[in-house]
Amino acid sequence: MLARTTKTATSRLSQIVNQVGFGTRTMATLNTQLPLNTGAKIPAVGFGTWQDADAQEGAVLEALKAGYRHIDTARMQVHYILTLANADRYCSYGTEPAVGRAIKKSGIPRSQIFITTKLWNNSHRPSDVSAALDASLKDLDTDYLDLYLMHWPCAFAPGGALIPKGSDGKIQTDNENADYVDTWKAMEKEFKAGKCKAIGVSNFSKGEMERLLKESEVVPAAHQLELHPWLQQRAFTEWHKEKGIHVQQYSPFGNQNEIYSSGQNMGKLIEDPTLVEIGKKYNKNGAQVALAWGIQSGHSVLPKSKTPSRIKDNLDGDFKLEKDEMERIAAIDKKLRFNDPSGNFGWDFYTDLEGKK
């Protein structure tokens, strides 16, 4: 009798839950943790820091209060320099100190937060890597990083200028003196010294990745790259799985970021009819479905926001999609890349990848 009563109560509860949102299902956040090749786990949803340094402390604190335990920042917050004349608008320095202050104010133990930051292009000479890492550790107010990434494979002129420009107004590069393999070998030393528990890269092509694996000792734990339902790069992500390299998705909402001028004269990814329609079933929006697609593909996702409600909504993008829904999302791949600063960085990025124009 007790078993029958319990079964009936459970059935009624299920009916009530399934009726929430006019016939939709409200899915609980899964708090997915994904493995790195170091044996560590990385929270699938990370909080990506914004290019507005002044807003960072409050936003990161809000994210930590909402439940994020993975913060992704950088020495230099930069995505896409449209022209060198407006480089200052799209690049900001000072996010690391803001992240450090927010973590301290949160009261959450350091051991419970996964922190990623990145080596900037002006510190690619092997002799500069250790000092650059130490500066980031100081600004973040921590004695180790969970993940340290090489932000780009190209090198800028060393020194205090983060965007060093010559008399012609162009960025001064240093690729003849700072090959990314040598930079990586310097990062390997910092990894072995325990300053960072894992090292990885960002914005590399497949050819650059293959050369790095061939000529170095430590396999990158992660590769952070532009990835979203309109730029799925399935062959490249499968290659990473074969090599044991975790994929991280920056710009998981594609052209939602206003700095991507190439994505302004079209509809927004998060408004794609397929994503929106799938979301209705779960009482989720298109952005949350885009995140769920990434996580179910085995990737960590790094959404950005300064708005408290959206910060929480993004964390709730960790839910399970059905196989047929994943297949429907696979069909909307447009091979659209929005982030390519090749013309300004003195380096031809993504030459063998989808979406290269």
Q: Which residues are catalytic?
A: 93
Separation CA 294–CA 311 (nearest Å): 17
Backbone angles phi, psi at 97, to 5 degrees: -60, -40
Q: What is the 3-state secondary structure (H, E, C) of the chain?
A: CHHHHHHHHHHHHHHHHHHHHHHCCCCCCCCCEEECCCCCEEECECEECCCCHHHHHHHHHHHHHHCCCEEECCCEEECCCCCHHHHHHHEEECHHHHHHHHHHHHCCCHHHCEEEEEECHHHCCHHHHHHHHHHHHHHHCCCCECEEEECCCCCECCCCCCCCECCCCCECECCCCCCHHHHHHHHHHHHHCCCECCEEEECCCHHHHHHHHHHCCCCCCEEEEECECCECCHHHHHHHHHHCCEEEEECCCHHHCCCCHHHCCCCCHHHCHHHHHHHHHHCCCHHHHHHHHHHHCCCEEECCCCCHHHHHHHHCCCCCCCHHHHHHHHCCCCCCCCCCCHHHHCCCCCCCCCCCC
Separation CA 168–CA 166 (nearest Å): 5
